[in-house]
Structure 1
Amino acid sequence: MRQIAVAAAIVMFLTPSPARAQLSGAAAQAESIDPPWGLRLAPEMTEHPLPANTSPAVFGIGDAADGDEDRDMSLKGHGELRRDTTIVKGDAVHYDMDRNVVDAYGHVHVVDKYDVFVGPEAHMHVEANEGTMTTPTYHFNLTGGSGSADSIDLIDNERSVIHHGTYTACQCETDPAWYLKAASFDMDQGSNEGVAHNGVLFFQGVPIFASPWLSFPLSNARQSGFLPPTFSLSSTNGFDLTVPYYFNIAPNYDLTVTPRYMSKRGAMLTTNYRYLSPTYSGSVTIAYLPDDALTKTNRYSINIVHNQNFGGGLAAYVNYSQVSDVNVTTDLASNTASLVNGQDIFQQEAGVTYNNGPWSVVARVQRWQSFSTAPPYNRAPEVDVKYNQYNAGGFDFGAEADATRFTISTADSTEGSRFTFNPYVSYPLSGPGWFITPKVQWHYVAYDLSSIGSTAPTGQPKSFSFNVPTLSVDSGLIFERSIRLFGTDYIQTLEPRLYYVYTPYRNQTFAPVFDTGEEDFGLAQIFTDNTFVGGDRVADLNRVTAAITTRFINQATGDERARFVVAQQYYFTNPQVTLDPGAAVTDIRGSDVIVGASLKIGPGFTTEQAVQYDEQRNQLDQGTSGFTWKPGDREVVSLAYRYTRADEDLDNEAENQIVASGQWPLSRKLYAVGQANYDMVAHRLVAGLLGIQYDADCWALSFAVQKYTNISTSTTASSSATRVLLQLQLKGLTKIDNGLAEQFRASIPGYTPLPAPPEPESRFSNYE
């Protein structure tokens, strides 16, 4: 039986010290952790720092005790010594008060703040938290890491050195899925870092990696260390291995260095530097492959992004990309990047912006590194000023002025400067269930050309201008009624809308096409006053757009359960302005009919359909139909059908594709992912992905087989290839990384990554 009197006697020998939890005065009041919302601490849990130059009291307890007063004390039978956050337990505990040293023997437990060490004996300097243990086992509470060793040296309350030991973050007493075995470990809780010297990594009992030096985190906080490596095998790169290393330089700076080896091409290095501050942020990414074994050239890509906030609405930005050749984005895309691309232009832009109240100003230089036979124009430079004022005596008014100098790398091309000025004024009127907005605009465009290409119209002047007015009226009604469907109360709306626009014809034959194209036709663009995007063309229109929408809204939740819309444009006269001055004018009286619908049928089930139908030709131009079912986390299935009737210039090759994707649990730990894009015209699989993810307690494995297609560019034909991807993540050893999750997220709408590791435990979780 323990003798409580023994504990009291030992305390009397020691220097008194204030208790760590006091219950008097303001300190006795419960405190809020995170005002104004948070849990309230019980008074007993409040911790108080000791006054300066005051040592914590030492408490001892045991079945029996003997010793000399103020010199030493021996505790026998369940001996226990406590000082602050350090606890020493053993069958026999001897405490030398003069040297402040404790020796413990037999079933020794040493608890040092967050960590627990167990062994046959321990020798500790109590005040310095310094000591040694032989053949210990240990557990680090913040990470759940554990292991065993021949011996361990405790340097202080944060650092320790393990000799000939093991380390694992797996929560099992025997046979962990992975573990490190090393000649020595340096464990530093202060810097949250462990370092293994001359270590070997074992997975499922098999050595898979050896290194003279290996760093790993001791908490879930951001820390320097290796990210999970990724393996792949493809027909273009052969065996492909990337091993990223993350440098946590500062709380607002980090660097990821990614060595990569491709058996068919050679060694490559990618660096990604990120920075963040209250006034600026950005990143610099550089990839370099010297002497590609296939192309016999040095290959690289550079991407720089910077955003600067000067305050007072003034800001600046840089977005710069450069590559060695057009195929870099396809040949050297990362193991986890989406490979369905065909990029042949790269933006190089820098600018200054100003936003203050109604004013918005952008001054920029925009250039392009282009590998296309029809590259875009550079803006060198451009200044754009916008002013918008709302509800000024009931009026909305504003203007946009833009001055741009256009240059291009293609020889024998038209170049020069363009100035546009577009003022407007509108008077919105609205009431319960209705609105009407008349609007007047003016378009002024002036050109000063420095060179004229051979494809320009005959008689092309260098300086000219044109003016075009526009009148539009937007109006609509909103009707509501209460209905009951399938036992649920809904509000049904009926929303007819009419939009009329009139723009007279102005001859724009001599206007070059610097940045202008025809606008896409769809619900998002049907209520606009111009069928062109850009500043070089203003369409002559005498047109009305009619649409009607009905919605079903759950009265109890406000959730929109269904929406149906029908819209069409009607032309009173044929538009004469075309993008190409030599193009024939098309006889148009009515636009295609657009029909759309979206439904939420049940929990997690949504479906959307849209159809664009050409009444004049009695044919379907575009159509999409799809549904998504997402009943829970990591449970999603999507199916979509897309159809587009291509233009005759494209040899009538219409888009006719079915896209299916999904993520679904096969068991508690095993998940399947997949995606397929099948072209019904070419009768082939354009892109496909099939993978599995296994999420164990202390490791995760992702595996995928992917077929991808590189879209043809001006210099390369389209091609397809297959690759195999594999990533192993050892939790607690490598930092958490999205890895293949980025590829799965890009391919599968609604994809959810595997669960994150649990938060670290409190030091009170395993309190002794």
Structure 2
Amino acid sequence: MISRFLLTILTILTIPQIQAKLMLGDDNEQKIFSMEECLINESEPKNINELPINIEADSLESINGETVTYNGNVVIVQGKKRIQADSVTLHQKDNIVIAEGNVHVSDGELKTVSSKVTNHLNTNFMFIENTKYSFLCQPGRGEAVNISKTEKTIYQIEDGFITSCSLNSNAWRIRSSKININPNKKEVTFYNPRFEIRNLPIFYLPLLTIPIGDTRKTGFLYPTVSYSSSNGFKTEVPIYWNLAPNYDLKTIFKYMQERDFQINSKFRYLSSFGSGSIDSEFFPNDKKYLNKRKRWGFQYKHNGIFQETWKFKVDYSKVGDITYFTDIDSSVGNRKDGQLTQETEVTYRSDNWDVSILVRDFQTLTENSTPYRLIPQFQFHYYTPALMKYLDFDLISHISRFDTDDEKKPSSIRIHIEPGFTIPIANTWGVWTTEARLLGTFYQEKNNSLANSNSEENIIRIIPELSTHASITFERDNKIFSGYTQTLEPQVQYLYVPKKEQSNIVKYDTALLQTDYYNFFSKRKFSSVDEIAGANKFSYSASSRFFDVFHKERLNISFGQVFYLEQNSEKSHNPNQNSAISNYSAWAIETNFNYDDYFFYHGGIQYDVDTNEVQLGNSTLEYRFNSGYLQTNYRYVSQNYIEKNLSYSEKQLSEIAKSGISQLGLFGQYQINSKWRTNVQYFYDLTTSQELEWLASLGYQSNCWYIGLTYSNQFRGWEDKNNWLINYPNLTPIYENNFSINFGITGFGTNIGSDSGIIGIDNADNTLKYARPFLLNN
């Protein structure tokens, strides 16, 4: 971007070899622009010589065959180009034009002020002396001792600098002894460039080459500098490699005072099969953790659609040790539940069916964990939306092979076939859907234990499923709150799934889903098919919404419950719970509120009628104002709920949960003025009376530079973490305190150091993120 504007300085001053006319009070039909206007969107002929040249001056002196001199307030206008000078002289024999005395030139994108401009019309050589220039369409300016253009269209700037800071500000600039601009190669070369802050040199390079405009070129990108108590001073020097039009590479050399060198890279590509990237991180010698030394992280991602029918997806990541993410701030990997995902999927879609192949494995980030890998899964889905009038048909099927490194667990081949018929009936005020499905699953299990290495077991399970769901929407003008429209939306569902003994089936990729208001109308209790929970129940709920005169939803309230026709059918999943229970589930209530787009509330609660206690609860309150926002949120999970939904023993659960989960969070952001902003995040555990995490930052941003100060106190792990489950009540949490300073420059379409975040914690690697507090259908 910098070089494109430097190129403009030289091109706008060329005076074409055509007859100019003196305009002394004549009517000028050509549109005249101000020298301060940005005219980047104004059209102009490809051949600028087709435009007339208008010249105004106080006086004209001519020596026949020698010179023509315009004096006093000389103004030359041609299209978007405008030149002002005290004097302009045309030497007719040599065909040279010289403009002198306070020479101002503008082409609608850049304006220059110089003492003298010399233009050789025969050779297009031009020489500009003592030049100050400024960009008109974005922040940016500079100075140069002289600017010259040779007959080979090579432009040279001698002893010049460039900055995005405003006039009279020397916050930063890039100065170079010589700058060569080659429009044919679309590149600019800086000789001996140095970056200066308030005229003080910060770093120096012998040579720097950058592309012109939107072209790309191999070379150094801007470095960043920061400091933290964990890593000490940190410097990052990125290098961009323009390998081909459809793929490139970015390498970052990072030095941390407490850690030594780290090399990161990101390779990107684009092909007819989609786009992808390969990210890698490598620590040759991590001085902070001497027992680990060489450390690395890797991730390969690909997404693409081919010929509108094929879809490809790859997400493979791996790290050198299981504490990699605890010790190192890293961006690689798709982490979930203490595991790194490693999967590949290929899908083919047609109008009525699709088929896919999925391979999935994991790298566990905890000790003694051996999840099942899927190698592979073949899926086939067929759907006919209108087999008959009011009758839809679909077929879900897959064949999966599961394997594990745990010799005490069996491997298996699972075949699942699930046809279904649906009767959908709907109009503008209601929906009634009835569905019947048949779930057939076959397992061929092989025990890999040494004692039973030859044992095999075949399991066949066939379970029918029947459900019917109806909902109605009523609407009226609210009489209490005038100007508001209120809806009432009751719904009811009956679900029947016969109970069947399934304790002999291993849970390969199946986990218990959370039971809350949004799960009341789900037909499945588990995430996959290794367990199909029996059900004979009615789910019922009602919602009411309030819309203002602009049809914007301001309030909604929803509540629901499940009635089990068969006691103990699925109310209690914990086999150790022997207390009497009713046929009713917990009541669940959810509400969202938006008052005048500045006061927001979200709340949810799940109350168990059997134990007379709150199982789940969450509440978020947010106040927004012109300069920022304040938010407080709270979440609660009872100990009984945890025991019912996790598979640990009662003793272990009581140690982990103690009194359940009760946590408070605070967020705040305040724009002090146009340049200063501050952020705060704080999380506190009420059950253990311990701080979980807090961060605070203060940031300043001017028109050309910024600085961010951040302090954080973050949870990083537990002492004696190898035995944390047994010794949990006596463990001491480990925190890491960090103070970081990030600064950089802005302008010319790029932010130096912006990867660190201008303010600090907006992009911080904290575990709990800010979220909007409500979900309204606006």
TM-score by length of 2: 0.81
Please give the alpha-carbon distance, in whole angstroms, between the structure 2 residues aligned to 1:631 and 1:339. 37
Aligned counterpart for 2:89 among listed residues 94, 101, 109: 94
- 8 Å contact kept, 1:670–1:693: yes
2:730 is the counterpart of 1:732 = no
Aligned counterpart for 1:673 among listed residues 655, 663, 679: 679
Other structure's SS at 2:415 match = strand
Query: 1:738 deviation in Å?
Result: 5.0
Q: Compared with structure 1, are the counterparts of its residues 182 and 745 closer, same or farther at alpha carbon in structure 2 (3 Å cutoff)?
A: closer
Aligned counterpart for 1:558 among listed residues 545, 548, 551: 551
- 8 Å contact kept, 1:306–1:319: yes
Identity of aligned residues (%): 22
Aligned to 1:759: none
Q: Compared with structure 1, are the counterparts of its residues 726 and 599 closer, same or farther at alpha carbon in structure 2 (3 Å cutoff)?
A: same
Aligned to 1:702: 708
Query: 1:750 deviation in Å?
Result: 6.1
Aligned to 2:34: none
Aligned counterpart for 1:629 among listed residues 616, 623, 632: 623
Point out the more displaced range, 505-514 or 198-207.
Answer: 198-207
Query: 1:121 deviation in Å?
Result: 2.3
- Aligned pairs for 1:642-653 within 5 A: 642-646=635-639, 647=643, 648=650, 649-650=652-653, 651=655, 652-653=657-658
Query: 1:682 deviation in Å?
Result: 1.9
> What do the CA deviations read for 1:291-335 (whole angstroms, capped 9, x no partner)?
22223521111111112322141122211111111122232215x
Aligned to 1:30: none
Letter of the aligned partner of 2:87 in structure 1?
Answer: A
Query: 1:197 deviation in Å?
Result: 2.9
Query: 1:371 deviation in Å?
Result: 3.7
Please give the alpha-carbon distance, in whole angstroms, between the structure 1 residues aligned to 2:666 and 2:152. 56
Other structure's SS at 2:762 match = helix
> What do the CA deviations read for 1:243-297 (whole angstroms, capped 9, x no partner)?
4455666776554322211222210111122334665111111111112222352
- 8 Å contact kept, 1:340–1:711: no
Letter of the aligned partner of 1:326 in structure 2?
Answer: I
- 8 Å contact kept, 1:21–1:46: no
Aligned to 2:12: none
Q: Compared with structure 1, are the counterparts of its residues 247 and 702 closer, same or farther at alpha carbon in structure 2 (3 Å cutoff)?
A: farther
Aligned to 2:483: 489
Aligned counterpart for 1:429 among listed residues 396, 419, 425: 425
Other structure's SS at 2:326 match = helix
- 8 Å contact kept, 1:422–1:443: yes
Aligned to 2:664: 658
> What do the CA deviations read for 1:119-157 (whole angstroms, capped 9, x no partner)?
322222246653223332223445443222332223589
2:346 is the counterpart of 1:352 = yes
Please give the alpha-carbon distance, in whole angstroms, between the structure 2 residues aligned to 1:222 and 1:637. 43
Letter of the aligned partner of 2:236 in structure 1?
Answer: T
Aligned counterpart for 2:316 among listed residues 306, 309, 320: 320
Q: Compared with structure 1, are the counterparts of its residues 489 and 230 closer, same or farther at alpha carbon in structure 2 (3 Å cutoff)?
A: farther
Q: Compared with structure 1, are the counterparts of its residues 376 and 129 closer, same or farther at alpha carbon in structure 2 (3 Å cutoff)?
A: farther
Please give the alpha-carbon distance, in whole angstroms, between the structure 1 residues aligned to 2:617 and 2:349. 40
> What do the CA deviations read for 1:202-232 (whole angstroms, capped 9, x no partner)?
3244443333335678879988763562513
Please give the alpha-carbon distance, in whole angstroms, between the structure 1 residues aligned to 2:723 and 2:126. 68
Letter of the aligned partner of 2:351 in structure 1?
Answer: G
Point out the more displaced range, 651-660 or 423-432.
Answer: 423-432
Q: Compared with structure 1, are the counterparts of its residues 73 and 282 closer, same or farther at alpha carbon in structure 2 (3 Å cutoff)?
A: same
Aligned to 1:49: 46
Structure 1 gaps, min length 5: 1-8, 14-18, 23-38, 752-768
- 8 Å contact kept, 2:334–2:340: no
Q: Compared with structure 1, are the counterparts of its residues 661 and 584 closer, same or farther at alpha carbon in structure 2 (3 Å cutoff)?
A: closer
TM-score by length of 1: 0.82
Aligned to 1:298: 294
Please give the alpha-carbon distance, in whole angstroms, between the structure 2 residues aligned to 1:625 and 1:688. 20
Letter of the aligned partner of 1:563 in structure 2?
Answer: N
Other structure's SS at 1:427 match = strand
Other structure's SS at 1:489 match = coil
Aligned to 2:20: 11
Query: 1:394 deviation in Å?
Result: 0.5
Q: Compared with structure 1, are the counterparts of its residues 66 and 431 closer, same or farther at alpha carbon in structure 2 (3 Å cutoff)?
A: closer
Other structure's SS at 1:600 match = strand
- 8 Å contact kept, 1:342–1:711: no
Please give the alpha-carbon distance, in whole angstroms, between the structure 2 residues aligned to 1:328 and 1:429. 54
Q: Compared with structure 1, are the counterparts of its residues 75 and 525 closer, same or farther at alpha carbon in structure 2 (3 Å cutoff)?
A: same
Please give the alpha-carbon distance, in whole angstroms, between the structure 1 residues aligned to 2:674 and 2:383. 56
Aligned to 2:646: none
Aligned to 1:26: none
Aligned counterpart for 1:610 among listed residues 587, 604, 613: 604
Other structure's SS at 1:462 match = strand
Query: 1:611 deviation in Å?
Result: 0.5
Query: 1:498 deviation in Å?
Result: 1.7
Please give the alpha-carbon distance, in whole angstroms, between the structure 1 residues aligned to 2:586 and 2:571. 19
Query: 1:624 deviation in Å?
Result: 0.3
Aligned to 1:28: none
- 8 Å contact kept, 2:333–2:341: no
Q: Compared with structure 1, are the counterparts of its residues 76 and 482 closer, same or farther at alpha carbon in structure 2 (3 Å cutoff)?
A: closer
Aligned to 1:444: 440
Point out the more displaced range, 338-347 or 534-543.
Answer: 338-347
Please give the alpha-carbon distance, in whole angstroms, between the structure 1 residues aligned to 2:268 and 2:183. 26
- 8 Å contact kept, 1:505–1:577: no
Aligned to 2:762: 744
Q: Compared with structure 1, are the counterparts of its residues 338 and 290 closer, same or farther at alpha carbon in structure 2 (3 Å cutoff)?
A: closer
Letter of the aligned partner of 1:744 in structure 2?
Answer: D
Point out the more displaced range, 292-301 or 54-63.
Answer: 54-63
Other structure's SS at 1:533 match = coil
Aligned counterpart for 1:147 among listed residues 117, 122, 142: 142
Please give the alpha-carbon distance, in whole angstroms, between the structure 2 residues aligned to 1:323 and 1:339. 8
Please give the alpha-carbon distance, in whole angstroms, between the structure 2 residues aligned to 1:201 and 1:259. 19
Please give the alpha-carbon distance, in whole angstroms, between the structure 1 residues aligned to 2:227 and 2:189. 29
Please give the alpha-carbon distance, in whole angstroms, between the structure 2 residues aligned to 1:585 and 1:452. 35
Please give the alpha-carbon distance, in whole angstroms, between the structure 1 residues aligned to 2:413 and 2:572. 19
Point out the more displaced range, 126-135 or 213-222.
Answer: 213-222
Other structure's SS at 1:524 match = helix
> What do the CA deviations read for 1:312-362 (whole angstroms, capped 9, x no partner)?
41122211111111122232215xx69998964222212211122232322
2:594 is the counterpart of 1:573 = no
Q: Compared with structure 1, are the counterparts of its residues 384 and 477 closer, same or farther at alpha carbon in structure 2 (3 Å cutoff)?
A: same
- 8 Å contact kept, 2:140–2:748: no
- 8 Å contact kept, 1:228–1:735: no
Kindly report the root-mean-square deviation, in angstroms, between the aligned alpha carbons of the 2 structures.
Answer: 3.9
2:205 is the counterpart of 1:211 = yes
Please give the alpha-carbon distance, in whole angstroms, between the structure 2 residues aligned to 1:431 and 1:80. 73
Please give the alpha-carbon distance, in whole angstroms, between the structure 1 residues aligned to 2:95 and 2:378. 75
Letter of the aligned partner of 2:405 in structure 1?
Answer: S
Letter of the aligned partner of 2:424 in structure 1?
Answer: P
Aligned to 1:199: 193
Q: Which has the higher contact order (CA 8 A, sep 6+)?
A: 1
Letter of the aligned partner of 1:723 in structure 2?
Answer: N
Q: Compared with structure 1, are the counterparts of its residues 240 and 204 closer, same or farther at alpha carbon in structure 2 (3 Å cutoff)?
A: same
Letter of the aligned partner of 2:385 in structure 1?
Answer: Y
- 8 Å contact kept, 1:228–1:729: no
Please give the alpha-carbon distance, in whole angstroms, between the structure 1 residues aligned to 2:192 and 2:454. 80
Query: 1:615 deviation in Å?
Result: 1.4
Please give the alpha-carbon distance, in whole angstroms, between the structure 1 residues aligned to 2:220 and 2:448. 58
Please give the alpha-carbon distance, in whole angstroms, between the structure 1 residues aligned to 2:338 and 2:324. 10
Please give the alpha-carbon distance, in whole angstroms, between the structure 2 residues aligned to 1:349 and 1:121. 66
Aligned to 1:272: 266
Please give the alpha-carbon distance, in whole angstroms, between the structure 2 residues aligned to 1:338 and 1:669. 33
- 8 Å contact kept, 2:164–2:703: no
- 8 Å contact kept, 1:592–1:614: yes
Point out the more displaced range, 243-252 or 724-733.
Answer: 243-252
